[in-house]
């Protein structure tokens, strides 16, 4: 069975990737299986750059094909923040909930009609030599509520309502959707569907 290294230590993100990549029929491996620590610094100015850096470093460290994801939330009223800093927004010491509440506090004076935002997911696939084989990006537009709703998902999901639901009497956040409905709409789902299509068209992209 072919193997694919996945450049993430986020268990909830890994679960989404496993679910969406299941049609490939490959064994997924994680950095925790390496014999030495793997902790790349995400210092690139955009999602694509961070995804590429993580995929390249893991592919070389593992000696195998690696896929990396870099994703985050871009808020219109904040000029695109938190963006590439989404997972580290607000500094050290904050968990997902703390970062979400920090963001909502920043937006407390922003009127409802100006609370637009979008999620971005960049995926990069590299061969064992670190050469980029494939790069795709997905996006999901929506709006941010004033308080969290729902207990599913992770990160900023409890405040993000995709455009498909934002005019409903009771808007539904990513955190209130089941896995299949979220996959159908999300930035990561959009990126992974394109990735899958490309890999199914050219299986040699996964060859070690």
pLDDT for residue 92: 84
DSSP 8-class letter at 147: S
Q: Give the domain CATH number at 151.
A: 3.90.950.10
- Determine the distance from the C-alpha atom of residue 116 to the mean position of all C-alpha atoms in its chain, rounded to a whole number: 19
pLDDT along the chain (208 residues), means of 10: 89 85 90 91 95 97 96 97 94 91 96 96 97 97 95 92 84 92 93 94 92
Task: Spell out the SS3 assignment of 160-176.
Answer: EEECCCCCCCCCCCHHH
pLDDT digits (tens, 9 = 90+) for 13-30: 888 888 888 888 899 999
| pLDDT at position 100 | 96
Residue written as tokens 């455009």? Answer: 163
Total domains present in the chain? 1
Enumerate residues 6+ apart whose C-beta is below 8 A from 77.
107, 110, 114, 115, 116
Whole-angstrom distance, CA of residue 120 vs CA of residue 187: 6
pTM of the model: 0.93
Q: What is the mean pLDDT of the chain?
A: 93
* Catalytic residue, candidates 43, 46, 69, 70: 70
Pairwise CA distance, residues 164 & 140, whole Å: 10
Residue 99: its H or E element: helix 96-106
The shares of helix, strand and coil residues in the chain, as percent rounded to the nearest 5, are 40, 20, 35
The pLDDT of residue 168 is: 75
Please tell me what DSSP assigns to residue 156.
T
Structural domain harbouring 104: 3-206
Sheet of 66-75: strands edge to edge? 27-29, 3-6, 66-75, 116-126, 132-144, 160-162
Asked if 46 is an active-site residue, the reply is no
């Amino acid at each position: 069975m072919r193997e694919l290294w996945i450049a993430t230590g986020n268990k909830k993100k890994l679960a989404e990737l496993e679910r969406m990549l299941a049609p490939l029929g490959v064994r997924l491996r994680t950095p925790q299986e390496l014999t030495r620590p793997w902790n790349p610094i995400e210092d690139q100015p955009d999602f694509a750059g961070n995804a590429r850096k993580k995929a390249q470093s893991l592919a070389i460290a593992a000696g195998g094909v690696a896929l990396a994801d870099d994703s985050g939330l871009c808020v219109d009223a904040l000029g695109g923040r938190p963006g590439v800093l989404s997972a580290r927004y607000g500094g050290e010491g904050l968990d997902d909930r703390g970062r979400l509440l920090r963001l909502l506090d920043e937006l407390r004076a922003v009127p409802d009609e100006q609370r637009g935002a979008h999620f971005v997911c960049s995926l990069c696939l590299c061969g064992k030599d670190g050469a980029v084989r494939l790069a795709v990006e997905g996006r999901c537009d929506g709006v941010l509520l004033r308080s969290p709703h729902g207990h599913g998902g992770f990160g900023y999901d409890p405040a993000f309502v995709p455009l498909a639901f934002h005019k409903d009497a009771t808007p539904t956040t990513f955190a209130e959707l089941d896995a299949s409905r979220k996959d159908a709409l999300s930035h990561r789902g959009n990126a992974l569907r394109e990735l899958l299509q490309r890999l199914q068209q050219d299986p040699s992209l996964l060859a070690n």
